[in-house]
Structure formats: C-alpha cells, structure tokens
C-alpha cells in the first residue's frame, strides 16, 4: 500500500485544456515519453472538470529536449486515438498513453484486435464515430428570422465530446445558410463566413417549431410501410435517447398502433378466409394443414404448429390455450411445466391422459422475444376465433362426450365467447353437438401461485376434475 | 452557465420573436405529399452512397455528399429514411398488375409541379431532414412528357439553386434516349426497374412494358456511365454522368420465378450493365390488388435470403453457379439457414479451414465469418497463433464456427460429417419475420 501511495505522490499530473484536446494530449505524451515517465506515474485530467485541483498544470514534465529521438507511431494508431480521445470515458487519455508506451517496443501491436487495450481503443473509437455519424444524421434545424434574415437553429446533446470535430461537416454542407447548433457543452454559430463558438445551451433555447415540420411529419408517416413492422431494427439505428431531439419521433407510437390495428382488422374478417370445401377429413390432415396455416399473425411468426394427440375415438377431449416454449420445441401438447401439473392431477383423479385427446385452442405459440427467452403471450380473441376452425374440425372427427376446457382461451375456443372462469368453472355446459363442456382453470395458473393460494387452487382444480370423472361415470 | 446575456450578445434574442411562418406549405400540398410519398414507398432503394464528393464550403450552393450516405431517420418498418422519396404523379397510363398506381387501380391520385418538388426538397434539406431527392413518376400523357418533367426537377435543383446534395432519378425506359441521357447529367444515380426476373413474367404482369426496351435503355445508361468515368480520368472538367451509377429493382414472389432464376438474372445484370445494386422487393399485397396476383405475399425471409446471396456474389467471391449450388433441388434458397451455411453443408469436404494458414478466400467461405472478422483474423495471425479465445473476440458466435475451423487449440473431430449438423446450426427463429399479409 505504501508503495502505491508513494507512487501517487510522485505521479505527474497532466491537465488538458478541454475534454476534446487531442493535440494537447499528443504534445504532453511526446514530452512524457521523451522524459521516460511510465504510464503508472501519470495522472490525466481536464481543466475545469471534477478533481481539477489535483491537476496543477503539468509541472515536472520537461520540454522535449532537442537531443531526444523523434517518437514515431503508426497512422493507424493516430487515427484511432484521435477518435477515442473524444470519448466521454475519463480513462481515455490514460489508455492512449499506456498503448503509446507499449507501441514504442511493439509498433505492430496496433493491428492485433485480440489485445485487450487495442480492443478497448477500437471500441471507444467506434463509439465516437457512431456518435459523430448520428449527430450528422439527427440534428434537426428549425428556421427563425433575426436581424440578419433567416437562421436555422438546432439543439443536440451528443454522448461524447464530438461537437468541434463535427463542425466541419455542417460548414461544408450548409455554408450558404446561417445556422447555430446548440449543445449542452458549447454552441456553434455560422454566419456565412466565420464559425464562432459560444457557451452551452439547453433545449429550451432553440425554437419550438418550424414551418416545414408539418410537411416532414406527413412524409415520415406516409413513407412508412405498415405491412412490415420491424421495431427492433428501427431502435437499433435510432435509439430512444435521440428521440427528444427529433420531432418526428412523436408520431412513432401512433404509427405502430395503427399498423397493429390494421393487422387486427384483417384478422377480424378472417371467418371467410377458410374455405368450407377444404375442411380436412382426418385428424392427420388437420395435423398437416395447421403446419402451413398463416391465417392469423401467430401462424406467421415462424414457430411450428402443435397438433392434438391421443386416440381418434377418445371419450374426453382436453383443450389448453396454446403450445408453450417446450411444446413448440417438442411438437407435442402439454409436455412443459404446465403439462406436468396436468398429468399429476389427471393421474390423481384417475383419468388416463393416454385415453384423452389432448389439444389446444390455438395451434401456434404466441410469444414475445426477451433476450434468448420466449415469453408466453396470450392469444387475442380474434386469433382464438380464427383457430376455432381447426378445433371444430378435431371435435367433429373425435366426437368426444366430454370436453375439459382449461382456462378462458380454451373456453372461448369451444364456446365462441370468453367465459369468466372464476364464476363458471366446475359447472357443465351442454354443447350443440351433444358433448358436455366442463370449464376449469389452466394448470399454468397454478404454477404462478405459492403457498396457501397454491394449495387452495390445487384443491379447486382437483375438485373440478372429480366433476369430470363423475360425468364420465354417469356415461 | 448563464446563457441569457450571451444570447443578447450574439443576436439570438430573436428566439423570443416567435417562429418562422414564411413558406408554410399549404394543407393541400401536404395532402398530396402524403399520397405521393405513400405511392413511392414500394421502391426499396433509399441509398445515397457512392457518389462523387461535393461540398458547399464556398458558401454558394447548398449541400454536400460524402462517400457514405446518411440515414436521417428510421421508420417503424426498420427502413432508413435518407432521401425524400416521391412520385411526381401517381396518375399512370400503364396497367402493370403488381403496381398500386396502375391505370385500373382505385387509389387517390395526385400530382406535383416540378417547382413544388424543388421547394420541398430544398426546405427539407436546409433542415437536415434528408440527403437529397429520389424522384420517380407514373406515366402521364406520354413517356417523353413524364421524363421531361423529371429532368426539369433535377435541372432546376442543380442549375437554379446550385443544389449539391444527392439526386436519384428513376428513368423511363420508353422515353427518348436523349431525355434519359439528360437525367444522368443532373442525377447522382439513375435507375430503371427490370420489375420481374423473367421476360415471361413481365409480359404477363406488365403488358405495357417490354423487356427488350428496358434492356436497351439500361445498356445505354451503362455505356454513358463508363464513358463519363473514363473522360473524368482524362479531363478534369469532363461532365459527370450519374457518378453513383445505375441500380435496378426486381419484385420477388409476384410471378413464379425461382430463386435460381432470380440470382441468375441478377448476376447477369451485374455483369451486363455494371449495376451498383440490384434491389429485391418482396411483393406485398397492395390496396386494391389485381386479381392476377397471388393473394399471399412471399415470406420477407425470402427477400432477406436473396440479399444474402447478393452479398455472397459481390463481397465474398462466390460465382453465380456456386450460389445456385447452395439452393434446394427446386431452385429455392433454404429459408431456415443462410445461403453461406447451406453452401458449406453441401461442400463439407472444403472444411475445416485452418484459420492460421488458409488464404483470405477460404476464410470468407466459413459460415459465421464476415468480411470484418476475416480482416481481423488476417491481422491477428501475424502476431500469434489464433486460438478459439481470439476468435471469440472477433466474432459473435464461436459455437457456430467450431465445426468448420481449425485453430491452434481446436480441431473438430467428426463434426463436419454429422447428419444433424444442419439442425444444430439452424438458428431458432425468435423474431416475427412475417406479419399478417
């Protein structure tokens, strides 16, 4: 510990003039190398930043003597370093000096993308480059009139210290108009001949509206194709942090909602989309046909349809909601956690699962991707209604005496209306085709409960299954 | 930081004066903008890259172009908005079945005057909304009349307003070659859509168009672009002609063309006309669709696989025949795996590739290694024997690569021969690739 303290006392402190002062870093680094001062003995900072009092100039670094050998570094390093120096990471100047120190002995180290320091340098440079690019893309000028005529003013908050580095781009592009870019750290003003720098500003200092924005908004909303929603792709390139600087992004929520409404509207007129003449004539035909069914959005999500299974003349049909993650993987209904709960209860009630036709109200797995996981999402009423075509087909072919519907979605699949499970469970409904329907909860509901609540619901579920056994016994 | 005093100092006090109301576009103009932008969105291209570098540092003109175009916004369909993409009008005397603007379609019609398009372009550009203009049009009165109007927009922007941003003009192959040539003088990029991959499909679905006419016009543009490039090397002030080259678009899934036919056509187009890009557009059911068309659109994944095969041709050194070899017997690219992996699985004897000794061309064939990872590998192996850990730093998934590579510390055993390799490597599809159509 004491050695560290001594070193810290002996450290050379370098305070650069501004956060983007790459030239200052280069000058100091050249002198430090010439004086043989190792990276561990240097502390880097920026004047006016947090611990500025620590940085009382760079006293102690000798000016590069005339006799010192010229320091040569590759252009590749200088290019990367020039970008990385603009990063907001406080350790950036230290990283640059450490790399420079190593490059003296191993000049080709800079090509080695597997070296951790080189990788870090490349990462910082890439992030700065992206920020520079996004500023060029997302600055939005608003027109105002002042004494000198028309002026275009934008407010933008970049992530890194890139404003000065980007000034040239805006001059090259907009030299013939007068403009200002206001940012939290500084502002740029162009008056047709000279670029001036001013202090930082806030969003409220920029104009609040612009004559062309209504037209731009209409364009933004019209060029969008609602038939291909790819929100992830949009967010990757235009992350939310930029939205406050881009007025058109206020439309996005409505555009997405509109695209989804369009989808739902197409689903709701879906009844006519099945052709009665093509009704499958066997359970195998249904199993085949659902694989290619694209009549609702779930069918189009790239998952595999899961067919019902069991004896073709089963007396009981058990209907769940939809296949889950495990079911979709294995291609069989009720093989995941909820399936195990179901199997256990069926066994306790004395119902042989192998003797029942086990299926789902919806044949495809509806989910929301969350990282590597696929989170279950409930099907909408419209989607269940579309998929009734297949469930109706199974009912007509199996002709069960009893249908056990697990949960509200299954209930809707059988009844065509969404039942209130809490009120209607355990009661039987006589169906038009002569079968009896028994409604109960979905086993996955039990999985979501703990302790007392779980025990209570397990009992209710078991009681409902006893009703089923009773119906079957009555014959 | 105290700001108020400083504003007075530099004359920004006018921010108090309220906003700027001159030239506010009229409601009627905004409505037409909505119609004509909506009608233009079936053209996939929005690229503004690859043109000559220009700037207006001299404070005379307006605008600049760099090597890479800039995407100024993204829409919720994931597409970049770089150019103001418009039709001059969606009135059309042609009756192409796949087109929402065909004569027999029932859509709302509108038109712009060239002056209106010029003002919208300049107004958007000054505010940094766009890189430039992509202008196309339905055919009104005659092909020549329409082409004249398109050229007039570009001329006015360049000559009257000294506009130095990007211009992409869609040219009309049936128009007078002299007019098509003028388009190239003002525009950075010109394009003619071949529309459908086969001449038979074109004859059936676009009765007013003719494959030979399209080919002729593309050939003339290609010749003019080559000549201008050559002249530019000899004479500094030679007139520029479409410095960003020529591109085209094919609609996928509207006729029965297989992927093999499409890739064959595309590689032919690249070779014959030195195209910069061939765009693929998955046919999407359009409002008021023609009864001749399929009711369902092809999966968007098919479009994606075609673009991947396009990349193999252009950046990975695959010959067209090799891309075809990656296809299924029915001439379609597999949808569950990418074409590069499909090719590798068919030509397993080419693997594993030793990452420490193989030439660049062999590295580019490894599924999971992109051009950047290959570049990184070539640099890294000058310093050390590449190990799996190094590979992990250069790529996203080492697991995917394992069966195909040899490193200092890894040699696949019988992995390449496994029957189930395809199933093991095919990505689990987690995102919704096709919405309801």
For chain B, the 3-state helix, strand and coil shares in percent, each to the nearest 5, are: 40, 10, 50
3-class secondary-structure state, position A229: coil
Count of structural domains, chain B: 2
Q: Give the end of a domain, one of A178, A205, A232.
A: A205
User: Mutate which of B8, B12, B21 to test chain A, going by most A C-beta atoms within 10 A?
Assistant: B12
Q: At what angle do helices B27-38 and A213-223 cross, to 10 degrees?
A: 20
Does residue B248 fall inside a structural domain?
A: yes
Q: Which segments of A210-251 does DSSP mark as H helices, in order?
A: 213-223, 231-237
Structural domain of residue A103, as residue ranges?
2-132
Whether residue B255 is found in the same domain as residue B365: no
- Whether the pLDDT of residue A291 is over 90: the answer is no
Which pair of structure tokens corresponds to residue B131? 């890189």
Is A273 a domain residue? no
Residue B66 covered by a domain: yes
Q: Measured between CB atoms, does B12 come within 8 Å of chain A?
A: yes
Contacts of A209 in chain B (CB under 8 A): 19
- Do A176 and B436 count as a contact with CB atoms less than 8 A apart? no
What is the model's pLDDT at position B142?
A: 92
Residue of chain B with shortest Cα separation from A209? B19
Compute the half-sphere exposure of residue B434: CA atoms within 13 Å on the CB side of its CA: 24
Please tell me whether residue A57 adopts helix, strand or coil conformation: coil
Instruction: Tell me how close the Cα of B172 comes to any Cα of chain A, in angstroms.
Output: 22
Same domain, B361 and B412: yes
Quote the tokens at residue A453: 């609540």
Position B437 pLDDT exceeds 50: no
pLDDT for position B16: 39
Q: Say yes or no: B359 contacts chain A, CB-CB below 8 A.
A: no
Last residue of a domain, one of A205, A228, A243: A205
A388 and A418 in one domain? yes
Question: In terms of domains, do A353 and A462 share one?
Answer: yes
Among the ranges given (A364-373, B29-38, B221-230), the one the predictor scored with the smallest mean pLDDT: A364-373
- Classify residue A330: in a domain, yes or no: yes
- pLDDT, greater one: A65 or A454: A454
Task: Enumerate the residues of chain B whose CB falls inside 8 A of the CB of residue A152.
Answer: 126-127
Q: What is the pLDDT of residue A217?
A: 96
- Among A136, A229, A294, beta carbon nearest to B76: A229
Yes or no, beta carbons of B1 and A173 under 8 Å apart: no
Cross-chain Cβ contact A151/B19 below 8 Å = no
Chain B residue whose CA is closest to A197: B10
Same domain, A186 and A293: no
Q: Is residue A414 part of a domain?
A: yes
- The position carrying tokens 């329907």 is A437
Does A176 lie at the interface with B, CB-CB under 8 angstroms? yes
Q: Give the pLDDT of residue A272.
A: 41
Average pLDDT score over residue span B207-225: 90
- Pick B19 or B309 by higher pLDDT: B309
What residues pair up with A179 in beta bridges, in sequence order?
A: A152, A190
A114, A205, A214 ranked by CB distance to B390: nearest: A114
Domain limit, last residue, from B246, B269, B298: B298
Asked whether residue A453 is assigned to any structural domain, the reply reads yes
- State both tokens at A458: 């397990």
Instruction: Provide the residue range defining the domain that includes B189.
Output: 25-298
Among B246, B271, B298, identify where a domain stops. Answer: B298
Judged against a pLDDT cut of 90, whether residue A375 lies above it is answered with: no
The answer to whether residue B284 neighbours chain A at the CB level (below 8 Å) is yes
Give a yes or no: residue B324 inside a domain: no
Residue A460 binned pLDDT confidence (cut-offs 50, 70, 90)? very high
Q: Which residue of chain B comes nearest to A120, CA vs CA?
A: B393
Higher pLDDT among residues A7 and A331, named by residue:
A331
**Same-domain check for residues A143 and A162:** yes
Residues B366 and B232 in one domain: no
CATH number, domain containing residue B223: 3.20.20.70
Q: Are residues A195 and A217 in the same domain?
A: no
Q: Which of residues 253-272 of A touch B (CB under 8 A)?
A: 255-256, 259, 263, 266-267
Shared domain for A431 and A317, answered yes or no, is yes
Report the distance separating Cα A306 and Cα A148, nearest Å. Answer: 71
B207 and B100 together in one domain: yes
Q: Is residue A373 part of a domain?
A: yes
- Cα A133 to its chain centre, rounded Å, is 22
Residues A44, A90, single domain; the answer is yes
Q: Which chain B residues are closer than 8 Å to A301 by Cβ?
A: 432-434
* Least confident segment among A268-282, A284-298, B21-35, B337-351: A268-282
* Residue A239: inside a domain: yes
Cβ A216–B124 below 8 Å, yes or no?
yes
- Measured between beta carbons, the chain B residues lying within 8 angstroms of A177 are 62, 126
- Judgement on whether residues A286 and A259 belong to the same structural domain of the protein: no
Give a yes or no: residue B318 inside a domain. Answer: no
Contact at CB, A302 and B129, closer than 8 angstroms: no
Instruction: Indicate the number of domains in chain A.
Output: 4
Q: What is the tens place of the pLDDT at every residue in B270-308?
A: 989 999 999 988 776 555 555 555 545 556 788 889 999
Looking at every residue in chain B, the average pLDDT score rounds to 84
Do A200 and A150 fall within a single domain? yes
pLDDT digit string (tens) for A191-248? 988 999 999 999 999 998 898 999 999 999 999 988 778 899 999 999 999 999 999 9
Q: Are residues A250 and A399 in the same domain?
A: no
Cross-chain residue pair B19–A139, CB shorter than 8 Å? no
* pLDDT higher than 70, residue A143: yes
Residue B277's φ and ψ, nearest 5 degrees, are -150, 145
> Judged by CB atoms within 8 Å, which residues 283-312 of A form the interface with B?
294, 296-297, 300-303
Q: Looking at the partner chain, which of A202, A231, A238 has a beta carbon nearest the beta carbon of B73?
A: A238
Q: Is residue B55, in this structure, part of any structural domain at all? A: yes
Distance from CA of A30 to the nearest CA of B (A): 26
Residue window 94-123, chain A: list those with CB within 8 Å of chain B.
Answer: 108-109, 111-114, 119
Calculate mean pLDDT across residues A313-327: 94
CA angle in degrees (0–180, nearest 5) for A307-A309-A312 = 120
> In this complex, do B380 and A112 lie within 8 Å of one another by their Cβ atoms?
yes
- Please report the pLDDT score of residue B23 as a whole number: 58
pLDDT surpasses 80 at B424: no
Q: Which of residues 223-282 of B touch A (CB under 8 A)?
A: none
B142 and B194 co-located in one domain: yes
Residue B124's pLDDT is: 97
For residue B415, give the DSSP letter: G
**pLDDT: which is higher, A208 or A71:** A208
Residue B389 with chain A: CB contacts under 8 Å: 114
Q: Which of residues 388-417 of B touch A (CB under 8 A)?
A: 389-390, 393-394
Pairing of strands B277-282, B246-252: parallel
Tell whether A189 and A42 lie within a shared domain. Answer: no
Asked whether the beta carbons of residue B126 and residue A246 sit closer than 8 angstroms, the reply is no
The predicted pLDDT at position B25 comes to 76
CB A46 within 8 A of CB A22: no
* Distances B137 to B43, B81, B130 between C-alpha atoms, Å: 11, 19, 20
Residues A407, A445 contacting (CB under 8 angstroms): yes
All residues of chain A having their beta carbon less than 8 Å from the beta carbon of residue B11 are 146-148
Say whether both B98 and B148 belong to one domain. Answer: yes
pLDDT score for B158: 96
- Chain B's closest residue to A218, CA to CA, is B34
Cβ-based contacts of B16 with chain A (< 8 Å): none
Same domain, yes or no: A106 and A26 = yes
CB pairs under 8 A between A and B: 259
Residue B274 CA from chain centroid, whole number: 15
B303 located within any domain:
no
| CB distance A196 to A189 below 8 Å | yes
Asked if residue B141 belongs to a domain, the reply is yes
Lowest mean pLDDT among B222-226, B235-239, B273-277: B235-239
Q: In angstroms, what separates the C-alpha of A10 from chain B's closest C-alpha?
A: 35
Q: What is the pLDDT of residue B153?
A: 97
A274 is a domain residue: no
Average pLDDT of the residues in A44-67: 63
Question: Which residue does chain A place closest to B33, by CA atoms?
Answer: A219
Q: Is the pLDDT of residue B13 over 50?
A: no
Min Cα distance A353 → chain B (Å) is: 30
Report strand pairing: B166-170 vs B132-136.
Answer: parallel
Structure tokens at B55: 């700037």
Residue closest to A146 by CA, chosen among A195, A173, A179? A179
pLDDT of residue A303: 86
User: In which residue are the tokens 């290959």 written?
Assistant: B374
Which residue would you say has higher pLDDT here, A1 or B114? B114
Same domain, B200 and B349: no
Chain-wide mean pLDDT for chain A?
A: 88
- Partner residue opposite A111 with nearest CB, options B6, B20, B379: B379
- The listed range with the strongest mean pLDDT (A358-372, B151-165, B379-393) is B151-165
Neighbours of A7 (CB within 10 A): 12
Report pLDDT digits (tens) over A253-281.
Answer: 999 888 877 766 654 444 446 766 677 88
B24 touches chain A (CB under 8 A): yes
Residue A61 has a pLDDT of: 63
Q: Who has greater pLDDT, B224 or A275?
A: B224
Confidence of residue A307 (pLDDT cuts 50, 70, 90): very high
B360 and B215 in a common domain: no
In a domain, A436, yes or no: yes
Task: Say which of B10, B23, B63 has its CB closest to residue A198.
Answer: B10
- Is the pLDDT confidence value at B2 over 90? no
Chain A residues in contact with B22 (beta carbon < 8 A):
145, 211
Q: Given B298, B325, B347, which residue is the final one in a domain? A: B298
Q: Report the pLDDT value the prediction gives residue B156, as an integer from 0 to 100.
A: 97
Encode pLDDT of B48-71 as tens digits: 888 889 999 888 899 999 888 999
Of A268, A292, A313, the residue that ends a domain is A268
- The winner for highest mean pLDDT among A130-139, A227-236, A383-392, A413-422 is A130-139
CATH number at residue A290: 3.40.470.10
Q: What is the mean pLDDT of residues B140-165?
A: 95
- The reported pLDDT for the residue numbered A320 is 96
Q: Is the pLDDT of residue B312 over 50?
A: yes
């Amino acid at each position: 510990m004491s050695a560290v303290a001594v070193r810290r006392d002996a450290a050379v402190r370098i305070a650069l003039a501004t956060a983007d002062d790459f030239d200052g870093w280069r000058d100091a680094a050249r002198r430090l190398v010439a004086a043989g001062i190792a990276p561990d003995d240097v502390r880097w900072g920026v004047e006016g930043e947090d611990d500025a009092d620590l940085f009382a100039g760079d006293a102690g670094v000798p000016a590069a003597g005339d006799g010192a050998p010229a320091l040569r570094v590759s252009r590749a390093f200088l290019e990367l370093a020039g970008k990385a120096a603009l990063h907001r990471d406080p350790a950036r100047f230290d990283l640059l000096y450490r790399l420079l120190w190593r490059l003296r002995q191993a000049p080709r180290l800079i090509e080695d993308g597997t070296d951790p320091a080189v990788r870090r340098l490349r990462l910082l440079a890439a992030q700065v480059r992206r920020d520079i690019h996004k500023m060029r893309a997302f600055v939005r000028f608003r027109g105002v009139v002042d004494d000198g005529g028309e002026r275009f003013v934008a407010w933008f908050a970049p992530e890194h210290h890139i404003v000065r580095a980007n000034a040239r781009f805006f001059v090259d592009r907009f030299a013939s108009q007068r403009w200002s870019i206001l940012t939290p750290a500084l502002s740029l003003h162009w008056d047709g001949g000279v670029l001036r720098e001013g202090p930082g500003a806030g969003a409220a200092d920029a104009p609040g509206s612009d004559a062309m924005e209504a037209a731009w908004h209409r364009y933004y909303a019209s060029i969008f194709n609602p038939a291909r929603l790819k929100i992830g792709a949009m967010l990757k390139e235009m992350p939310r942090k930029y939205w406050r600087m881009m007025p058109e992004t206020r439309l996005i929520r409505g555009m997405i909602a509109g695209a989804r409404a369009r989808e739902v509207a197409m689903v709701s007129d879906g009844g006519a989309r099945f052709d009665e003449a093509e009704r499958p004539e066997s359970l195998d035909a249904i199993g085949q046909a659902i694989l290619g069914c694209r009549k609702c959005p779930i069918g189009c999500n790239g998952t595999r349809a899961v067919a019902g299974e069991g004896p073709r003349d089963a007396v009981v049909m058990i209907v769940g909601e939809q296949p889950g993650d495990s079911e979709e993987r294995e291609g069989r209904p009720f093989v995941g956690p909820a399936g195990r709960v179901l199997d256990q209860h069926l066994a306790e009630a004395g119902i042989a699962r192998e003797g029942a036709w086990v299926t789902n109200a919806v044949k495809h797995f509806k989910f929301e991707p969350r990282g590597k996981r696929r989170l279950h999402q409930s099907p909408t009423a419209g989607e269940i209604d579309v998929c009734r075509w297949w469930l109706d087909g199974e009912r007509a072919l199996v002709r069960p005496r009893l249908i056990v519907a697990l949960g509200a979605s299954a209930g809707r699949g059988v009844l065509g209306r969404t039942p209130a499970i809490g009120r209607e469970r355990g009661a039987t409904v006589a169906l038009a085709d002569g079968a009896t329907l028994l409604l109960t909860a979905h086993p996955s509901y039990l999985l979501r409960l703990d302790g007392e609540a779980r025990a209570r619901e397990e009992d209710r579920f078991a009681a409902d299954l006893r009703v089923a056994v009773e119906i079957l016994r009555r014959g | 930081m105290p700001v108020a005093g400083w504003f007075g100092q530099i004359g920004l006090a006018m921010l108090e004066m309220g906003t700027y109301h001159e030239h506010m576009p009229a409601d009627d103009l905004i409505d037409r903008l909505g119609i004509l932008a909506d009608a233009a969105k079936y053209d996939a291209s929005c690229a503004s890259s690859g043109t000559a570098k220009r700037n207006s540092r001299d404070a005379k003109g307006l605008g600049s172009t760099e090597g890479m175009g800039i995407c100024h916004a993204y829409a919720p369909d994931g597409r970049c908005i770089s150019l103001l993409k418009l039709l001059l009008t969606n009135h059309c005397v042609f009756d192409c079945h796949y087109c929402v603007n065909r004569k027999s379609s029932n859509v709302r019609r509108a038109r712009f005057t060239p002056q209106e398009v010029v003002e919208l372009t300049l107004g958007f550009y000054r505010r940094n909304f766009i890189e430039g203009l992509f202008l196309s049009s339905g055919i009104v009165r005659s092909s020549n009349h329409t082409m004249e109007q398109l050229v007039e927009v570009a001329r006015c922007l360049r000559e009257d307003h000294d506009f130095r941003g990007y211009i992409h003009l869609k040219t009309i192959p049936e128009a007078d070659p002299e007019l098509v040539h003028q388009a190239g003088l003002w525009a950075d990029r010109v394009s003619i859509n071949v529309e459908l991959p086969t001449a038979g499909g074109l004859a059936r679905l676009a009765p007013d168009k003719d494959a030979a006419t399209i080919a002729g016009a593309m050939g003339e543009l290609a010749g003019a672009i080559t000549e201008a490039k050559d002249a530019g090397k000899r004479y500094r002030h030679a007139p520029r002609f479409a410095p960003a080259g020529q591109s085209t678009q094919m609609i996928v899934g509207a006729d029965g063309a297989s992927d093999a036919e499409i890739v064959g056509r595309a590689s032919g187009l690249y070779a014959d006309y030195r195209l910069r890009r061939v765009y693929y557009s998955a046919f999407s059911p359009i409002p008021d669709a023609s009864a001749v068309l399929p009711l369902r659109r092809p999966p968007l994944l098919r479009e994606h696989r075609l673009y991947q095969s396009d990349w193999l041709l252009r950046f990975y050194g695959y010959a067209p025949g090799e891309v075809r070899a990656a296809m299924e017997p029915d001439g379609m690219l597999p949808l569950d795996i990418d074409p590069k992996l499909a090719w590798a699985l068919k030509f397993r004897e080419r693997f594993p590739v030793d990452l420490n000794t193989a030439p660049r061309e062999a590295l580019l064939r490894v599924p999971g290694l992109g051009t950047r990872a290959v570049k990184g590998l070539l640099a890294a192996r000058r310093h050390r024997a590449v190990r799996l850990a190094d590979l992990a730093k250069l790529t996203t998934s080492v697991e995917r690569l394992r069966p195909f590579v040899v490193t200092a510390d890894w040699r696949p055993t019988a992995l390449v021969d496994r029957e189930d390799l395809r199933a093991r490597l095919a990505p689990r599809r987690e995102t919704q690739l096709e919405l309801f159509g």
